[in-house]
């Protein structure tokens, strides 16, 4: 049922138009001196980010400071716009994390291509890639818009981790025991 | 007239025009700031100068107020790419903004802005030329401003600018009459029977000294004149020539950078002169209060010069504020409504007003 708003016929004062102008002027005058500013001054003030927001994809380290990514390339494979490019690499000889299978040598995400779909995060078996709160990516050139590994870790930081999958694997290999 | 006199007049003219241009650029800033306050925004608040901006408290405050913004705007107008469309006649296309600016700057010649008393005790009016027919000159020259708009619209060789230019000319015609008639009662009152006739603006201001301002005892004239000034300067709610909602941006759609800047400055100069004329004709000019002049407060000499110029500028700024205030209050009229208001309401109203005041003045002045 549509709501019909009845238009009242204008009374004499309203037909004269001038008093109505004066009323309108009072409204804007009040707005100017007693109204509050509702704009957000962007670079200094940021809007609150909702929980679970999908911003820029980042790489995270575990609390031990280890790269979680093992360069399985699942994200690269699943990425719809093919924004992710991984060059797999070995864990160097003598590293504390020698027991981990692999690590990425290079990890680039082309932010000009990324569509923030979050499928990389869904598919990652190591929970190494996360779409976090960062939402304002800008740059002066195309090259600047490609996030390399260092940049991705800088953006991502460290997230809490309960699993320490590789540590447990190492312990199991050294001391024997059940597999995971 | 001797060469030295001409030189002095030329220097005065340059000073007046540069002050007017300065006022124009800050009027643009005021417009932006006032519109932002009305709309709950902040407005220009980032532009800063290297040294002035880094003074601890004052610099920050000035930056937030946007005081340096006109400099940036001016530089942008100068250095942006100036696009001239390939399908226009370059001569007319370049002439249009110049023709829009020249009348606006010319009208300031006859606008008096204060007075001082010299050593001999004579009252000297601060005005470039105290023309005997100043009001006619003002109406004639300021209406020439529309030629720039029409030429800009026509020479752009494009449809929306053309429509904008044509609208501007039609609108100008429908308001010029009401405007001219609405100020006749004022001059009828100034030129009392038996006195020497004059259309000088200086005489109008002097006649308001020590009495009622004309806005008070001729409110209908004042109202009609104000409405017509809005239409004359192409300001909202009568900015038919450049209404974005219908004509992209009207006559200056094809203009960019410096040429657009000239149109812009021309419009604001027009507004400033219009506000000055309203202040002079109806709001008592440089007299501080109704029934009082600066002489009544006992000031004289150079001090009265400063005070009188200050008073006029304050009234001018107040009216400029009113221009902007109206802009963000009233919605734009439709074109047929503009025509109806012009021909069917304001013109008859101004004629009726003229007749009423003719009788009133006749009975008051009758010996």
Asked if pLDDT for residue A78 goes beyond 90, the answer is yes
Domain assignment present for A109: yes
Using CA atoms, how far residue A168 sits from A71, A97, A161, in Å, is 19, 12, 13
- Looking at residue A103, which CATH number applies to its domain? 3.30.70.3270
Under an 8 A CB cutoff, do B38 and A31 touch? Answer: yes
Has residue A26 been placed in a domain? no
Which chain B residue shows the shortest CA-CA distance from A20? B330
Residue B120: predicted pLDDT:
75
Distance from CA of A137 to the nearest CA of B (A): 21
Summarize pLDDT for A111-164 with one digit per residue, the tens: 999 999 989 999 998 888 989 888 888 889 999 999 988 888 888 888 887 778
- Residue A82 is predicted with a pLDDT of 92
CA distance A143 to chain B (A): 27
Q: What is the pLDDT of residue B194?
A: 67
- Half-sphere CA count of B240, side-chain side, radius 13 A: 26
At B147-191, the pLDDT tens digits run: 888 888 888 888 888 888 888 888 888 888 888 898 888 888 887
Confidence of residue A110 (pLDDT cuts 50, 70, 90): very high
Half-sphere exposure (CA, 13 Å, Cβ side) for B146? 23
C-beta atoms of A32 and B37 within 8 A: yes
Q: Tens of pLDDT along B284-316?
A: 888 888 887 777 777 777 788 888 888 888 998
> In the prediction, which pLDDT does A113 show?
92
Domain of A114?
56-156
Give the pLDDT band (50/70/90) at residue A178: low
Show residues of chain B in contact with A21, CB under 8 Å. 329-330
Assess if residue A176 is contained within a domain: no
State the pLDDT confidence band at B146, using cuts at 50, 70 and 90. confident
Number of structural domains in chain A: 1
Answer whether residue B258 shows pLDDT above 60.
yes
Per-residue pLDDT of B24-47, as tens digits, reads 888 888 999 888 888 888 888 888
Mean pLDDT of chain B: 84
Tell whether B330 is within 8 A of chain A (Cβ): yes
Give the separation between CA B355 and CA A108, rounded to whole angstroms: 83
Structural contact between residues B166 and B240, judged by C-beta atoms closer than 8 angstroms: no
Say what the pLDDT of residue B59 is.
81
Q: What is the pLDDT of residue B367?
A: 56
The answer to whether residue A81 sits within a structural domain is yes
Q: Are A132 and A156 in contact (CB under 8 A)?
A: yes
Contact A150, A90 (CB under 8 A): no
**Percent of chain B topping pLDDT 90:** 3
* pLDDT of the residue at A141: 92
| Residue B328 to chain A, least CA–CA distance (Å) | 7
Question: Is A21 within 8 Å of B40 when comparing Cβ atoms?
Answer: no
Question: Is A136 assigned to a binding site?
Answer: no
pLDDT at B352 over 90: yes
**A131 labeled part of a ligand binding site:** no
ipTM greater than 0.90, yes or no? no
To 10 degrees, what angle do helices B3-38 and B302-327 make? 40
Q: Do B329 and A24 touch (CB under 8 A)?
A: yes
Q: Tell me the per-residue pLDDT of B189-218, one tens digit each, with 9 for 90 and over.
A: 887 766 777 788 888 888 887 778 888 888
Does the structure show a pLDDT above 70 at B132? yes
**CA of A6 to nearest chain B CA: how many angstroms apart?**
22
The predicted structure's pLDDT at residue A80: 93
Residue B66 above 80 pLDDT? yes
Between the two ends of chain A, the Cα-to-Cα distance in Å is: 62
Residues 32-91 of B with CB under 8 A from A: 34, 37-42, 45
Domain presence at residue A139? yes
Q: Is B331 on the interface with A (CB under 8 A)?
A: no
Residue A147 lies in a domain: yes
- The answer to whether B152 touches B96, Cβ cutoff 8 Å, is yes
End-to-end CA distance of chain B: give it in Å, rounded: 42
Residue A18 belongs to some domain of the structure: no
Other Cβ atoms less than 10 A from the Cβ of B159: the count is 12
Asked whether residue A70 is assigned to any structural domain, the reply reads yes
Counting Cα atoms < 13 Å in the Cβ hemisphere of A15 gives 6
Q: What is the pTM of this model?
A: 0.79
Is residue B229 a contact partner of residue B237, using CB atoms and an 8 Å limit? no
B189-205 burial, b at 16+ Cβ within 10 Å, e below that, comes to bbbeeeeeebbbbbbbb
């Amino acid at each position: 049922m549509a709501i019909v708003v009845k238009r009242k016929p204008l009374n004499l004062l309203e037909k004269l138009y001038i008093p109505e102008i004066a009323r309108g002027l009072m409204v804007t005058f009040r707005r100017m001196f007693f109204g509050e500013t509702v704009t957000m001054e962007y670079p200094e003030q940021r809007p609150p980010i909702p929980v679970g927001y999908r911003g820029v994809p980042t790489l995270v380290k575990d609390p031990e400071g280890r790269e979680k990514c093992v360069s399985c390339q699942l994200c690269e494979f699943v990425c719809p716009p093919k924004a992710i490019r991984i060059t797999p690499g070995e864990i160097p000889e003598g590293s504390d994390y020698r027991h981990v299978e692999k690590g990425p040598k290079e990890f680039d995400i082309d932010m000009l291509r990324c569509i923030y779909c979050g499928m990389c995060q869904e598919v990652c078996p190591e929970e190494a890639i996360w779409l976090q709160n960062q939402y304002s990516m800008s740059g002066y050139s195309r090259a600047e818009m490609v996030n390399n590994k260092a940049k991705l870790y800088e953006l991502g930081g460290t997230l809490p981790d309960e699993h320490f999958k590789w540590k447990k694997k190492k312990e199991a290999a050294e001391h024997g025991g059940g597999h995971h | 007239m001797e060469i030295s006199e001409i030189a002095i007049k030329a220097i005065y003219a340059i000073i007046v025009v540069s002050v007017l241009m300065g006022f124009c650029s800050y009027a643009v800033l005021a417009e932006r700031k006032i519109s932002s306050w009305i709309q709950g925004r902040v407005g220009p608040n980032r532009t800063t100068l290297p040294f002035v901006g880094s003074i601890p408290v004052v610099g920050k405050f000035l930056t937030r107020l946007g005081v340096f913004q006109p400099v940036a705007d001016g530089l942008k107008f100068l250095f942006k790419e100036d696009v001239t469309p390939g399908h226009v006649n370059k001569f007319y296309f370049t002439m249009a903004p110049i023709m829009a600016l020249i009348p606006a700057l010319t009208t300031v010649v006859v606008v008096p802005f204060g007075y001082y008393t010299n050593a001999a005790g004579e009252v000297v009016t601060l005005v470039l030329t105290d023309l005997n027919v100043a009001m006619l000159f003002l109406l004639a020259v300021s209406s020439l401003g529309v030629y720039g708009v029409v030429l800009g619209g026509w020479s752009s060789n494009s449809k929306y600018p053309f429509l904008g230019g044509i609208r501007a000319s039609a609108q100008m015609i429908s308001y010029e009459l009401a405007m001219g008639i609405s100020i006749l009662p004022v001059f009828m009152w100034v030129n009392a029977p038996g006195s020497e006739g004059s259309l000088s603006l200086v005489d109008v201001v002097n006649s308001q000294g020590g009495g009622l301002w004309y806005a008070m005892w001729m409110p209908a004239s004042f109202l009609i004149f104000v409405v017509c000034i809005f239409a004359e300067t192409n300001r909202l709610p009568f900015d038919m020539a450049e209404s974005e909602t219908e004509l992209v941006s009207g006559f200056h759609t094809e203009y960019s950078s410096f040429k657009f800047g000239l149109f812009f400055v021309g419009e604001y100069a027009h507004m400033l002169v219009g506000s000055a004329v309203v202040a002079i004709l109806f709001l008592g000019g440089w007299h501080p209060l109704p029934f009082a002049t600066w002489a009544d407060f006992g000031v004289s000499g150079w001090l009265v010069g400063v005070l009188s110029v200050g008073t006029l500028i304050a009234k001018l700024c107040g009216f400029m504020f009113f221009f902007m205030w109206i802009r963000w209050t009233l919605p734009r009229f439709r074109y047929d409504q503009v025509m109806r208001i012009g021909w069917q309401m304001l013109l008859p109203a101004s004629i009726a007003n003229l007749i009423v005041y003719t009788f009133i003045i006749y009975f008051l002045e009758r010996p």
